[in-house]
Amino acid sequence: MSSQQPTDEPVYADRVYRSSMGIVSGVLLLALTAWLCGDAVVRGSGNTPWIALAVALCVVPLIVAFTIRPAVFANDDRLRVRNPFRIIELPWAAVDAVRAGYSAEVLAEGSKYQLWSVPVSLRERKKANRQQMRHSAHDRRDPGASADPGARARTAPSEPMRAGADRIVDDLQGLAESRASRPGAQGSVRVRWSYEIIAPALAGALILIVLIATR
């Protein structure tokens, strides 16, 4: 009979990173597709209703794949990346780095995987950099405020001036560094294709081609 020994390691709740703008865009596109295809099915004649259904079968999975589906899940042991057509599971010990350049990405075992749900906004990054420069310039003009912790606390922002994607990448990189030694964080990267998205999109595209060719 075995018992689990207590540990002093901190336990983090699962963290989920998704793009709120992507979700909103996806819902609006799905509503537009339903309206247009539904109208074609109800009012169309001949092959038009079937073409509309084929378009919906092809387009709806793609809209879901690129807008609503992408997400990043992080827990104590691993990072799970749900991209449009793949799911990548990366134990923290296999993660070499998490970085954000023109896109957010994770490096592991010699491969690079994009984080679709963490869009990088260069405009937001430039704005954050300008705020940092203004804050640094203020500290140089008023060194007394920088020396006074109370004054600095009153003038400093509540959070570091970082773009949203850069903050998320910092969080993930910190988890990778602090959790890589856990027994449950060992292992290799696993990649699975999302056939539940790919299959209906391909089926809709093939049906659409056949309907148009035989029209």
Amino acid letter, residue 95: V
Distance CA 103, CA 119 (A): 6
What values do phi and psi take at 207, rounded to 5?
A: -60, -40
Burial of 172 from C-beta contacts in 10 A (0-12 / 13-18 / 19+): buried
Do 94 and 67 touch, CB atoms closer than 8 A?
no
Count the residues in the chain. Answer: 215
Distance CA 84, CA 79 (A): 16
Residue 149 or residue 92, greater confidence: 92
Q: What is the rounded average pLDDT of the residues 178-201?
A: 94
Which tokens belong to 19? 């793009």
Global pTM reads 0.77
pLDDT at 6 over 50: no
Per-residue pLDDT tens over the stretch 117-161: 988 877 666 675 666 666 555 555 555 545 555 555 454 444 556
Strand partners, 190: 89
Q: What is the rounded average pLDDT of the residues 2-31?
A: 75
Distance CA 98, CA 95 (A): 8
Q: What is the rounded average pLDDT of the residues 200-204?
A: 97
Q: Which residues 6+ apart lie within 8 Å of 125 measured at CB?
A: 163, 165, 166
For strands 190-193 and 111-114, give the pairing.
unpaired
Residue 37 or residue 8, greater confidence: 37
Residue 109: predicted pLDDT: 92
Distance CA 170, CA 19 (A): 17
Residue 135: predicted pLDDT: 59
Residue 144: predicted pLDDT: 53
Q: Which residues 6+ apart lie within 8 Å of 162 measured at CB?
A: 128, 170
